[in-house]
Amino acid sequence: MDDFVRYDVICLGTGFVECVLGGILSTEGKQVLFVDRERFCGGANGSICSLAELEIKFPQQNSCRPICDEEFAFDLVPKCFVGRDRMVRLLEYIGVDVTQLTQRIHNNYIYIEDKLMPVRPDNLHFLVEGEQVKSLIEFAKSCRVSNGIATYRQTEIDCNESVSKLLRSFKVTSEKSRRYVIHGLGGGGSSSQAQTSGQLIDRIKRFCEGRPHQPTSCHYPRYGLGEMTQQILKCVQKRGGRCMLNRPVSNIQKKRGGYVYLSARDLKAKAPVIVADPSYFPELVKVQGRVVRGIAVLNHPVPNTSKSKSCTIVVPRHNGDSNFTINVFGEDHNMAPKSKFVAYVSAAVQTENPQNEIQAGFNLCGDALAKYTYVTNISKQIDNENEHHIFVSNSFDASADWESVCDDVMRLYQRITGKMFTFLPTKL
């Protein structure tokens, strides 16, 4: 008998995909072990708790020594929750009380033709170039009632015809108004006006399932995303799972009995299934793009946002390929000291000068005490038979919401269990 402790699943890394997937499998009775080489949990979704630590991670950038001693929470990959979207429902399935851990984002905006246009679901008479765009709530409800969108199984052609007809019936004829409605319903996703109608219908469904009685249905964790991953791990540990940090993996062997054997300092464990972030198995992934992200430390609210304590801004790109997004948080989310704000700008890289691509986002934020810019790869697992049962998560894209992350969790869940995850029905 070997001295390796047996688990049903071993997760290498404690990023959001690994934590959520491990939490789901733990909820369904699997014994899950989390192993992370870092001293803190969260992986790419962890929070850096001081400006001094941020400057260590990104040296030789704009220094901000006068406020280095103040407390911040910097998220390297910020993503917002929109209503009761799929990620919220997954977290609730695991046992995480999202409502208690998150704080509403005060205002949402779309930047169209050099103007910040507020997006409010309860806005009954919003004028765009003289067009009266009716309430997004009424628009979403009408879409759902008129086309049975809650259970739609239409072809893309049918979707296109239905959505075009609905936009015309709500007097949404100009491209400017169309972008307002699409991005308003989406809450700041990654796609621009080139959105397929099927994706738009998905957004309408999620909007109907959200909390449209609030001025904005977007919310974000207090103290940053690192707090959310800690809560997931606590739920797993209550079910007998374990989390071991500061354990660099020294050896992984795929051998007898269908198990993968893992050694990490004083840890020896084995499992028939391994889930890992791309950094653990670079030979199993392929780079399929890049994301540029920026962090700006401000001593003022973002201009032209009614002095919002927190806000999101969607900036559609003119080429129709993707947006870039801005998220701003402050004292209200316990992510910055009093009278300070942290602005995050992110975009998919499209040129050889990624830093220049988000400069417009920095410009919208106004003067900054410090700025930090970094570029990361988007890596995805290479398709193979995966005879050793090693499943690698995808890197995070530039989108502002969790939809692509949910897609990845669903992909891995189906490959591991052989079945699709079924969400509990939601009352619309």
Residue type, 349: V
Residues 211 and 255 in one domain: no
User: Which residue among 177, 194, 215 closes a domain?
Assistant: 215
132 Cβ contact partners less than 8 Å away, ≥ 6 residues apart: 125, 126, 171
- pTM for the whole thing? 0.84
- Cβ pair 18, 393 in contact under 8 A: yes
161 assigned to some structural domain: yes
- Cβ pair 398, 348 in contact under 8 A: yes
User: Which residue among 194, 215, 236 closes a domain?
Assistant: 215
Instruction: In whole angstroms, give the CA distance from residue 119 to residue 216.
Output: 8
Ordered per-residue pLDDT tens for the chain, 428 residues: 478 999 999 999 999 999 999 999 999 999 999 999 998 888 888 888 888 888 888 875 665 555 556 788 999 999 998 877 789 999 999 999 998 999 999 988 888 778 888 776 544 333 344 444 445 545 555 544 444 444 444 444 444 555 566 566 555 666 666 666 666 555 444 443 334 555 555 665 555 555 444 444 689 999 999 989 999 999 999 999 999 999 999 998 876 678 889 999 899 999 999 999 999 999 999 999 999 999 999 999 999 999 999 999 988 776 555 678 999 999 999 999 999 999 999 999 988 999 888 999 999 999 999 899 999 999 998 865 566 689 999 999 988 889 889 999 999 999 999 999 987 654 43
User: Which residue among 215, 231, 253 closes a domain?
Assistant: 215
CATH of the domain at 261: 3.50.50.60
Q: Is 98 left (phi over 0), alpha (psi -120 to 50) or beta?
A: alpha
Residues 279 and 392 in one domain: yes
Produce one character per residue of 152-185: b if its CB has 16 or more CB atoms within 10 Å, e if not: bebeeeebeebbeebbeebebeeebbbbbbbbbb
State whether residue 347 is helix, strand or coil: strand
Residues 245 and 264 in one domain: yes
Residues 131 and 259 in one domain: no
The count of structural domains within the chain is 2
Domain that holds residue 210: 120-215
346 assigned to some structural domain: no
Residues 185 and 135 in one domain: yes
E-strand ranges in 28-85 read 32-35, 47-50, 71-75, 81-82
Residues 270 and 149 in one domain: no
Residues 253 and 144 in one domain: no
